[in-house]
C-alpha cells in the first residue's frame, strides 16, 4: 500500500513548494508602485482595487472555479449585502451601498483567483511584492503630506464629478489630497492622507503594510535591501505617529508582537542573554525615537479623548439602528437627521459598518468567515502564515474603530488564499476531499 505521508521536500500532491526561495529584488517593487500611483491620479486609490478585482474576476471567469470548504459563509455574507441594498431609501445611500459591495466583490475575486493558482508560494510572493510596493508608495504619500500640507487636486475622474449633485463621499474618493490639518492637540496637526481619502485609512494601511515590510526585511539577502526596508519604515514612522490614529498604533504593535512571538516560539533565542539585551535595547530605542519625533502627539492622544464622545454617540446610534433592522440592516450607513454635518452611523468602524448596513445576520456570517480564515491560516506553518495571522489580529484590533474596506480586506483575502490551497492539497494527499 502506498504511503500517504507528505514528502519532506515541500511537495504536496502534484505541486512543489520549495522551502527556500530567493527574496525578490528591489526592482520588482517599482512597476506595482507606478501602477497604483497612476490609478490614484486617474480616479483614486479605490480605482486600483477595483481594477485588480476586475482583472481577477475576468481571469476566474475563463476557468473552472474551485473554492475552499467553508467559503459558503463568505458567499452568504455577499448575498445578505446584495439584499440589504433593498433597504436603502435615498440615491446617496444606494451609491454608498453599491460602492462597498463592489469592493467586497473585488476582494472576493482576488481570493478566488489566488486559490486557483497552481503554486501557492508563487502567489504568496506576488501578493507580498504588491504589498511591499504599496508600502513605499504610502510612505512617500505620508512624507509628501507633511511637506505640502493642505495640497489637493481633483483626479482626472474627479474633475468630471465635482458637483453638488454628486454624493460627498464620491467627491472625497476622487480628490487627490496629501494631508489634512486639524487642531486636535492644541496646535495644528498635519495628518497624512495620500493616496487614500481619509487619514485613518492611511494610518491603518501603513500599519498593515509595515507588517509586510518587516516580512521582507527578514527575507532580504543583502545589506542594501535590508537597509532599504529599514529606511522605509523609519521614514514612515513620523507620518504614522503624526496621523494621531490611536487604533492604528495599537494594531501595528499587536501585529509586530504576534510576529515576534511566533518567530522565537520553540527556539532558544531567549536563553542567550545577549540576544535578549539586544531585543530590549531595540524596543526601547524605537519607543524613544517615537517620543522624540512626536512625543506631544502620542501623549495627547493617549491621555485626551478628542473623538471619544462623538464615537460613543455613533455607537449608541448604531445599536439603535441594529434593533430597528436586525436581519438585513439598512443597506448603508445612516445619516443623523438632527445633525446633517455629523458622520453617519456605521462609518466609525468595520464592525459597526457591517452591523448597521447588513444587520446581525450579515455580521454573523462576516465574523464566521474571518474566524474560519484564522483557523485555516493557523495550519500554514510558514513565515507567510504567521504574517497573515498578524494581519488578521491587527484588523481585529482596528475593526471597532476603522473601516477596513479600502485596502485591509483586500490584503487579507489575497494573502490568506494560499493557506486554504495548501490545506486542500494536504487533505487531498491523505485521501480526504477539501473542496466544495
Is there a contact between 401 and 201 (Cβ–Cβ < 8 Å)? no
**pLDDT at residue 16 in the model:** 40
Range 137-166 burial, b when 16+ CB lie within 10 A, else e: bbbbbbbbbeeebeeeeebeebeebeeeee
Give the pLDDT mean for 51-70: 86
Is there a contact between 106 and 54 (Cβ–Cβ < 8 Å)? yes
pLDDT tier, 111 (very low <50, low <70, confident <90, very high otherwise): very high
pLDDT tier, 14 (very low <50, low <70, confident <90, very high otherwise): very low
DSSP letter for 148, please: S
**Cα–Cα nearest to 108, from 24, 62, 52, 160:** 52
Per-residue pLDDT tens over the stretch 418-434: 888 765 666 556 555 44
**pLDDT at residue 244 in the model:** 78
Is there a contact between 235 and 143 (Cβ–Cβ < 8 Å)? yes
Per-residue pLDDT tens over the stretch 186-224: 667 788 998 998 888 999 999 999 999 988 888 887 888
Per-residue pLDDT tens over the stretch 293-327: 555 555 555 556 556 566 677 777 788 888 888 88
Using the predicted structure, report yes or no on whether residue 13 has a pLDDT greater than 60: no
Using the predicted structure, report yes or no on whether residue 340 has a pLDDT greater than 90: no
Largest CA distance in the chain: 75
Calpha distance 25→8 (Å, rounded)? 28
Angstrom distances, CA of residue 16 to CA of 6, 11, 121, 393, 426: 11, 4, 9, 29, 12
Q: Where is pLDDT greater, at 416 or 69?
A: 416
**Cα–Cα nearest to 409, from 383, 388, 385:** 388
DSSP letter for 40, please: H
DSSP letter for 334, please: B
DSSP string over 51-72: HHHHHHHHHHHTS----BTTTH
Calpha distance 333→293 (Å, rounded)? 37
What the block records as the C-alpha cell of 79 is 448575498
| pTM of the predicted structure, to 2 decimals | 0.84
Q: What is the mean pLDDT of the chain?
A: 80
Amino acid at each position: 500500500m502506498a504511503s500517504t505521508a507528505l514528502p519532506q521536500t515541500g511537495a504536496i500532491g502534484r505541486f512543489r513548494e520549495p522551502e527556500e526561495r530567493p527574496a525578490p529584488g528591489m526592482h520588482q517593487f517599482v512597476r506595482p508602485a507606478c501602477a497604483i500611483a497612476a490609478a490614484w491620479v486617474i480616479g483614486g486609490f479605490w480605482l486600483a482595487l477595483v481594477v485588480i478585482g476586475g482583472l481577477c474576476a475576468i481571469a476566474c471567469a475563463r476557468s473552472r472555479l474551485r473554492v475552499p470548504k467553508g467559503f459558503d459563509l463568505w458567499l452568504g455574507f455577499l448575498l445578505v449585502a446584495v439584499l440589504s441594498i433593498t433597504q436603502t431609501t435615498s440615491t446617496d445611500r444606494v451609491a454608498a451601498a453599491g460602492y462597498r459591495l463592489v469592493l467586497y466583490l473585488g476582494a472576493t475575486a482576488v481570493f478566488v483567483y489566488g486559490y486557483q493558482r497552481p503554486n501557492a508560494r508563487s502567489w504568496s510572493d506576488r501578493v507580498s511584492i504588491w504589498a511591499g510596493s504599496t508600502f513605499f508608495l504610502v510612505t512617500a504619500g505620508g512624507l509628501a503630506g507633511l511637506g505640502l500640507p493642505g495640497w489637493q487636486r481633483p483626479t482626472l475622474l474627479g474633475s468630471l464629478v465635482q458637483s453638488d449633485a454628486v454624493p460627498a463621499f464620491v467627491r472625497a474618493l476622487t480628490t487627490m489630497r496629501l494631508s489634512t490639518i486639524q487642531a486636535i492637540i492644541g496646535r495644528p496637526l498635519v495628518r497624512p492622507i495620500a493616496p487614500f481619502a481619509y487619514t485613518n485609512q492611511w494610518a491603518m494601511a501603513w500599519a498593515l503594510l509595515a507588517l509586510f515590510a518587516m516580512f521582507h526585511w527578514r527575507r532580504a539577502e543583502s545589506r542594501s535591501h535590508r537597509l532599504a526596508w529599514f529606511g522605509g519604515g523609519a521614514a514612515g514612522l513620523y507620518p504614522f505617529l503624526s496621523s494621531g490614529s490611536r487604533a492604528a498604533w495599537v494594531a501595528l504593535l499587536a501585529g509586530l508582537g504576534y510576529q515576534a512571538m511566533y518567530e522565537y516560539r520553540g527556539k532558544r533565542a531567549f536563553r542567550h542573554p545577549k540576544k535578549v539585551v539586544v531585543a530590549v535595547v531595540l524596543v526601547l530605542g524605537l519607543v524613544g525615537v517615537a517620543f522624540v519625533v512626536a512625543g506631544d502627539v502620542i501623549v495627547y492622544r493617549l491621555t485626551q479623548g478628542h473623538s471619544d464622545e462623538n464615537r460613543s454617540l455613533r455607537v449608541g446610534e448604531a445599536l439603535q439602528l441594529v434593533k430597528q433592522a436586525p436581519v438585513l440592516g439598512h443597506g448603508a450607513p445612516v445619516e443623523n437627521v438632527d445633525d446633517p454635518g455629523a458622520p453617519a452611523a456605521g462609518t466609525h468602524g468595520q464592525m459597526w459598518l457591517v452591523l448597521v448596513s447588513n444587520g446581525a445576520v450579515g455580521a454573523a456570517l462576516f465574523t464566521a468567515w474571518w474566524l474560519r480564515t484564522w483557523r485555516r491560516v493557523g495550519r500554514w506553518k510558514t513565515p507567510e502564515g504567521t504574517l497573515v495571522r498578524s494581519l488578521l489580529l491587527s484588523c481585529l484590533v482596528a475593526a471597532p474603530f476603522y473601516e477596513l474596506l479600502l485596502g485591509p480586506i483586500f490584503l487579507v483575502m489575497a494573502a490568506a488564499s494560499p493557506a486554504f490551497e495548501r490545506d486542500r492539497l494536504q487533505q487531498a494527499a491523505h485521501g480526504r476531499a477539501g473542496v466544495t
